[in-house]
Amino acid sequence: MDAELMHDIYTQKLTSEEFGIIQTYIQEKCGIRLPLTKKDMVEGRIRKRLKALNLSTYGEYIALVFDSANPDADREQLNLIDTITTNKTDFFREPNHFEFLTQKVLPALEKQGYGMENTLNVWSSACSTGEEPYTLAMVLAEYFGVKGNFRVYASDISYSVLERATKAVYTEEKALGIPHELKKKYLLRSKDQTSGLVRIRPELRQKVSFGRLNLMNDNYNLPVEMNVVFCRNVIIYFNHQTQYEIIGKICHYMLKGACLFLGHSESIHGMDLPLSTMAPTVFYRI
Ligand SMILES: C[S@@+](CC[C@H](N)C(=O)[O-])C[C@H]1O[C@@H](n2cnc3c(N)ncnc32)[C@H](O)[C@@H]1O
């Protein structure tokens, strides 16, 4: 890229009108609210797309993304969604949820034969780069054995995070959140010891299926009804009405008595839903 173009990109600003177009599109398509305080963040993230596409202004980018005559517009809309979504996650994030699962939820499910003669189905509904569903798979494997009768479904709106999740390769630094004993059981070290990379073992990877799903869709078309759903640190980006509609749709895919885990700063307060509280941010399907 020539120095002049680089210079141009860094001096470019996203105008209020251009920000408004992105804001409306992202809100309608993904449910994500982008208040004006996010303008600089959006500008910085889209700048990466300008660089990748060799464009010099935000106006050119918007014309390209929203031009119905442009055959690449659909693909770039997906890139835009990937760029705007926040994918922060960790293994064993909010660890008391996994303790609650092991101490309260799994014993109750085991009594009903789940994890043994009945398949226990768990859904990580905004799985990002895979740390949450692999944590769930480790917790279930610890409880029922890795050959236990359980399956983890994992979905997200962003293709790029799903690609990384499927590869299941992480830096050793990322894996620091995994207890030592579990690392020994469920992680493979790279053959190149200096790479600083680890991979989830195949027997655990086989327990997790990934697919793209936009929680804004009318219908989720999941293959089974779930015993446990993790919907954490995603509805926080949506407005109250969207949160209500999404949790309502998730409830359709929960068996009676199934558990829903939300992120620690998320709530269903004031929503008329078929859920009852078990613990803060943990609910069961009535
Ligand atoms: C902050 S991450 C949370 C990851 C994980 N659940 C956790 O708590 O660590 C939020 C994820 O939600 C996804 N997301 C945002 N909007 C979505 C939507 N409409 N449908 C499905 N996933 C969405 C993002 O792509 C991102 O990977």
Distance 116 CA to ligand 1 centre (A): 30
pLDDT of 22 above 70? yes
- Per-residue H/E/C for 62-98: HHHHHCCCCCCHHHHHHHHHHHHCCCCCCCCCCCHHH
Whether residue 6 has pLDDT greater than 70 = no
Is the CB of residue 233 below 6 angstroms from any atom belonging to ligand 1? Answer: yes
- Report residue 241 as tokens: 């009405």
Task: Report the pLDDT value the prediction gives residue 194, as an integer from 0 to 100.
Answer: 87
**How far away, in angstroms, is 50 Cα from ligand 1 center?**
24
Confidence band for 253, pLDDT divided at 50, 70 and 90: very high
Nearest CA owner, ligand 1 atom 3: 233
| Whether 156 is catalytic | yes
Interval 202-206 mean pLDDT: 98
Kindly report, residue by residue over 138-166, the tens digit of the pLDDT.
Answer: 999 999 999 999 999 999 999 999 999 99
- 58-66 vs 16-30: helix axis angle to the nearest 10? 40
pLDDT digits (tens, 9 = 90+) for 90-105: 999 999 999 999 999 9
Helices (H) and strands (E) in the chain, counts: 12, 10
Q: Is 129 helix (H, G, I), strand (E, B) or coil?
A: coil
90 a catalytic residue? no
Cβ of residue 23 lying under 6 Å from some atom of ligand 1: no
Average pLDDT over residues 109-137: 98
Q: Which domains does the chain have, with CATH numbers?
A: 3-84 (1.10.155.10), 96-285 (3.40.50.150)
Q: Is the pLDDT of residue 14 over 70?
A: yes
Average pLDDT value for the chain: 95
Confidence of residue 1 (pLDDT cuts 50, 70, 90): low
pLDDT category at 268 given cuts 50, 70, 90 is very high
* Strand-pair category, 187-189 with 169-171: unpaired
pLDDT band at 271 (very low <50, low <70, confident <90, very high): very high
Pocket lining: 260 vs ligand 1, CB cutoff 6 Å: no
**The pairing of beta strand 197-200 with beta strand 187-189:** antiparallel
> One of 8, 33, 45, 90 is an active-site residue; which one?
45
Measuring CA to CA, which residue among 162, 163, 106, 113 is closest to residue 138?
Answer: 106
